[in-house]
Amino acid sequence: MFAENVPKYTKTMKLPALIAAFLTLVCQSAFPVFAQPPAAAYYLHPRHADDIPLSRYAERRSKVLSTMSPKSLAVFFAAEVRNRQNDVDYEYRQSSDFWYLCGFPESESSLVLIPGGIVLPKTLDSTGARHDALLFVKKRDLYLEMRSGSITGADRAKTMYGIMTLENVNFASVLGTLLQPEDSTLKRDTVFVTTFPTSAVVEPLSGETVNIERESRLRLQKQYPRAVIRSQKRLLADMRQIKDADELRLLRKAIDISLAGHREAIAQTKPKAYEYEIEAAMEGAFKRLGAEDVGYPSIIGAGANSCILHYTFSRRQAEAGEVLLMDCGAEYHGYTADITRTIPVSGKFSPEQREIYNLVYAAQEAAIKEYRKGVDWRLPHSKAVDVIRTGLIKLGVITNPDDYKLYFPHGSVHYIGLDVHDAGNYATFQPNMILTCEPGIYIPAGSACDKKWWDIGVRIEDDVLVTDGEPVIVSAALPRTAEGIEAMMKAAAAQPTKLPSKKR
């Protein structure tokens, strides 16, 4: 690869020449050097037609600005690129808070919000306009664009995202102008730093945690001693927990894609199928239907693995007579669903599996009824606990009421949105919150109960929208009852495999 100019080996070639030829091959293969055409242009990914409108991002920034004092400013950072191994990075995913306020998808970027605004030097902005929001982005580099794709750059970002944009090399000087202006009456004394890409890392030799956020604050404090560094996480959580119309639209899309993925995975489930085959069916449907990614690592656990809450290894075969737990959600334009179904690998639940499944379903039904305006967020989980505790005693799985925790060891309510465990204040339910309801029972082998219950893990999870009236189960199109699950599997087995396709 890229080695067309390497000298060919001959019997008369001496060792130094052979080494030189080898090194040339290695260097050209790993680090090819190309001359860039003077007007090279690479495909710039446009904003999607169904993206969050730019006006919505402006509204969110205005809301944040309205809560800040005239003597403050706020800084939001993009996520950094994370290394997978050696010279390979993980696929990039933007910081949720940063994304929420501007929708800009690239790393090495930052957003500064400035109450009252700032007039930039003429060298940076010849218009003389006052800006209360500044986006800093990386400079275009044709070599990097050739390797990894187009970089938007400041000029194009300003047009595409409706915000004053500068190259990030200007960040430090603009921050200094805000914190130490020539006119002392314009000095800012409070800096809100809401999200650091990585808050802490563990130093491997000592095992000590290095807190990046604290170190950054200390360095900034040293440079600007009179500045107060504060967090704004609570404000962003309060905003993000209530979904606007555009967010609900994207969440419904993510949920619909996820439901199709679950149906495809269910259709592929049969005895001797590997967990990874079922996972491939699930995630393949996500991609075909336009999801950019999964919202979290897919959980596909058969038999004993159904009792592991966050099992992601996916290498075991599913055997006849077992249950299969699938907790998977698609991410669409940054918003993720979170849905779980538990199914019988053979198509029919055993009597014991059905008892546990029906108990979890009853707990979920009792909990969902409480997703109402003004209700304390802890009440649905409490209702689910009551049902499961009573049911496990009745089945003889436990005798001590407190032992329900052995088999229902997790919470069952959390927000979804830009994160699968989305930001929120966890107080009372309000309209346009969308949260999960996910009770479960997990009885691993070796538990202190009859062996007939062992290796049964059941979780049922749906995404529920709080309204001014009745709660809405947004994921209700995918059957939840034991009978509905069995009927769906029977129908799928009778039909030839048909892959879902994206509507155009």
* pLDDT score at 9: 40
pLDDT in tens, 50-107: 999 999 999 999 999 999 999 999 999 999 999 999 999 999 999 999 999 999 999 9
Positions of CATH 3.90.230.10 in the chain: 242-494
- Binned at pLDDT 50, 70 and 90, residue 215 comes out as confident
Strands (DSSP E) contained in 101-189 are 110-119, 130-137, 164-167
| CATH code reported for the domain at 242-494 | 3.90.230.10
Measured on CA atoms in the order 271, 277, 283, 288, is the torsion positive or negative?
Answer: negative
pLDDT in tens, 298-319: 999 999 999 999 999 999 999 9
Instruction: Look up residue 330 and give its two tokens.
Output: 């698609």
For the segment(s) 54-238, the CATH number from 3.30.70.20, 3.40.350.10, 3.40.50.720, 3.20.20.140 is: 3.40.350.10
Using the 8-state DSSP alphabet, how is residue 448 labeled? S
- Binned at pLDDT 50, 70 and 90, residue 499 comes out as low
* pLDDT score at 13: 44
- Binned at pLDDT 50, 70 and 90, residue 220 comes out as confident
Rounded to the nearest 5 degrees, what angle is found at the Cα of 282, between the Cα atoms of 480 and 320? Answer: 65
Three-state secondary structure of 345-381: CCCCCCHHHHHHHHHHHHHHHHHHCCCCCCCECHHHH
Separation of alpha carbons 315 and 308, rounded Å: 14
* pLDDT score at 216: 82
pLDDT in tens, 477-490: 999 999 999 999 99
Burial class of residue 294 in the structure, from the number of CB atoms within 10 Å of its CB (0-12 exposed, 13-18 middle, 19+ buried): buried
| pLDDT exceeds cutoff 50 at 251 | yes
Q: What is the mean pLDDT of the chain?
A: 91
Positions of CATH 3.40.350.10 in the chain: 54-238
> In this structure, are residues 103 and 135 in contact, taking their beta carbons and an 8 Å threshold?
no
Rounded to the nearest 5 degrees, what angle is found at the Cα of 49, between the Cα atoms of 333 and 474? Answer: 50
- Expressed in angstroms, the distance from the first to the final Cα of the chain is 38
The CA distances from residue 279 to 282, 438, 440, 498, in Å, are 5, 20, 21, 16
Burial class of residue 298 in the structure, from the number of CB atoms within 10 Å of its CB (0-12 exposed, 13-18 middle, 19+ buried): buried
pLDDT in tens, 439-471: 999 999 999 999 999 999 999 999 999 999 999
